[in-house]
Structure 1
Amino acid sequence: MYSHPSRIAAFCLALFVGGAAVGVAGEKLRFSTVVIDAGHGGKDGGSVWNGLVEKKLCLDVAKRVETALQLKGLKTVMTRRTDTFVELGQRARIANRVPSSVFVSIHFNGSRKTIISGGEVYYRSSRGKGFATAISRSIKSKIPGGTRGVFQASYKVLRETQMPAVLIECGYLSNKRESLRCADPAHRQKLADAIVSGLLAARRKK
């Protein structure tokens, strides 16, 4: 997650942020490329709980998503492929150079309230809302207890990207039981497959 000092404040922002369109986007999206943003990297490790480091899991899931999308015939662009630090604004600029694309930022969460578990999908624009809903539904259908729902937020990578964009929190590393699941490569593959299924469900067929 990008805003580690205050998870509760970030969650409240997700619920009450203003200034963005919130209409339900029922229409499917037209895109040929998915920009995949593995959160954190390099000097920014992200959440560290129960022996897990967020940046490593983000990159692992991002690569799994990339592989699955390419097998489905979609083009992909990664904002990082190695353990390197990429500024948030640069991530958005990378995405904005890619025509006919959508943006997916992949994260894992953490909270002092270690009872909290489940993924979350964030969006900002009305087009992003339908996109986020499709991914959340897919995760819910494939992973029991896998999602807490869809929320509006104003994270920088959502504000500054010009295409439909979502930020996915794949689970809470601070929850002991969920951290054990997230440590399992088989579970991370299920997460990647669910994300890809949601992407395809949101895509308009040509």
Structure 2
Amino acid sequence: MKKYLIFFIFCLVSFTIFANGTIQKVRMNNNPAQLVFDISSQVKPKFNSSYDEYNRLLFLEIDKVKMNTKFNPSSFIGKSIEKIDLIDYGTNVGFFIKLKKGAGHKVYSLTNPHRIVVDLRPTTSSKKEFTIAIDAGHGGKDPGAIGFKIYKEKDIALAVAKKLQTRLSKDFNVIMTRSDDRYLTLSERSRVANRAKADLFVSLHLNASNNASAQGAEIFYFSKKSSPYAEKIAAYENSFGEKYGEKTGSIAQIMGELAYNKNMEKSINIAKPLNTSLAKRLNMRDRGIYGANFAVLRGFNGPGILVELGFITNKVEVTKLSKESNQNVMADELANKIRSFFY
């Protein structure tokens, strides 16, 4: 009997040490939009919260409590919450709350009775959440590839870049590496994006080939490993920097290994649907996406893509790419896929 009494006292003391209370109910208020955690406790419950802006993921951890109610995640999905998951850590309880676009996320506690509230009322902030860096390839003394002694890569790339800027400016902070016909080194381009802490780097180019029938759109992302074809294209683009005195090999990969892998994954996720939609809208060949060691992407600390909009050396294709109506289509598709990637 004495052993059982000791064991009972031990359990009681342990629960007192590790748990100050219980979550009695989790509920939604609709007006205003609030997620409320009702807590039975002798002391004011403590909590920690953090917010991942990129993924719109709010993490809420309530200290020293136990769940004392059934929890059905699907019942909380609505105008403000896209997904919610619970993790019971034994002594603490955590909630991963994926918010919908425009939902607020102010977290605070109230007493009499004890409860923790996540205020989900729409944010009134006019601050734009993400920054996109648009890089019109080449420029100034560097014309890029030239098609039929008429078309210059730098001109078509800049025309599409400006149209893309217009379409993205409503929802994003947009940084242009160049807005006119000026020369920048590859390292200067990535520095512009890094200084702005851009969330995505988009470099626009036109392809070239000795084969006049070569055609189609393709997109590249930074990878330390590449196919022979992708390596050839990267060497071609990097050669423009070398031609004008820049040692492109000295542009360092500034991201760590974990960031490199994550950024490559994000770059692939935007490149695949974008290249497919571009080719389809313009009735062009979809040449696919490739990883390669592009100097301009290597120097950027985030996800980035280099878009080869088409072949300037293909007479039919360059005629199509030089038309403003088709440039509008390109800008539309780029903007739509960028927007859907972030939102």
- TM-score by length of structure 2 reads 0.49
State the partner residue of 2:188: 90
Structure 2 counterpart SS, 1:186: helix
Partner amino acid for 2:211?
A: K
1:131 touches 1:164 (CA, 8 Å); kept in 2? no
Distance in 2 (CA, whole Å) between partners of 1:147 and 1:157 is: 23
Q: Does 1:78 align with 2:217?
A: no
More helix by share: 1
Deviation at 1:100, TM superposition (A): 5.1
Distance in 2 (CA, whole Å) between partners of 1:107 and 1:140 is: 15
1:39 touches 1:58 (CA, 8 Å); kept in 2? yes
1:166 to 305, 309, 332: 305
The CA deviation string for residues 109-136 of structure 1, in whole angstroms up to 9 with x for no partner, is: 1111111111111012222111211321
Distance 1:139-1:111 versus aligned 2 partners, 3 A rule: same
Deviation at 1:146, TM superposition (A): 5.1
Seq. identity, %: 31
Distance in 2 (CA, whole Å) between partners of 1:65 and 1:146 is: 22
Distance in 2 (CA, whole Å) between partners of 1:154 and 1:56 is: 25
State the partner residue of 1:7: none
Q: Does 1:180 align with 2:319?
A: yes
Deviation at 1:90, TM superposition (A): 0.7
1:137 touches 1:198 (CA, 8 Å); kept in 2? no
The CA deviation string for residues 144-193 of structure 1, in whole angstroms up to 9 with x for no partner, is: 22531111111011111111100001100101110110121111111111
In structure 1, list runs of 5 or more residues that go unmatched. 1-28
1:64 to 155, 158, 163: 163
Deviation at 1:89, TM superposition (A): 0.4
* Consecutive aligned runs of 4 or more in structure 1 exceeding 6 Å deviation: none
Distance in 2 (CA, whole Å) between partners of 1:126 and 1:47 is: 29
Deviation at 1:202, TM superposition (A): 1.4
Partner amino acid for 2:132?
A: V
2:132 touches 2:201 (CA, 8 Å); kept in 1? yes
RCO higher in 1 or 2 (8 Å CA, sep ≥ 6)?
A: 1
Structure 1 counterpart SS, 2:336: helix
State the partner residue of 1:147: 286
State which drifts further: 94-103 or 153-162: 94-103
State the partner residue of 1:53: 152
Deviation at 1:141, TM superposition (A): 3.8
1:136 touches 1:150 (CA, 8 Å); kept in 2? yes
State the partner residue of 1:119: 217
1:46 touches 1:54 (CA, 8 Å); kept in 2? yes
Distance in 1 (CA, whole Å) between partners of 2:325 and 2:184 is: 28
1:134 touches 1:199 (CA, 8 Å); kept in 2? no
1:99 to 197, 201, 213: 197
**Structure of higher CA gyration radius:** 2
Structure 1 counterpart SS, 2:157: helix
Aligned residues between the structures: 175
1:134 touches 1:202 (CA, 8 Å); kept in 2? no
**1:19-38 counterparts in 2 under 5 A?**
32-38=130-136
Deviation at 1:199, TM superposition (A): 0.8
Distance 1:177-1:100 versus aligned 2 partners, 3 A rule: closer
2:217 touches 2:279 (CA, 8 Å); kept in 1? no
Q: Does 1:193 align with 2:332?
A: yes
Q: Superposition RMSD on alpha carbons, in Å? A: 1.5
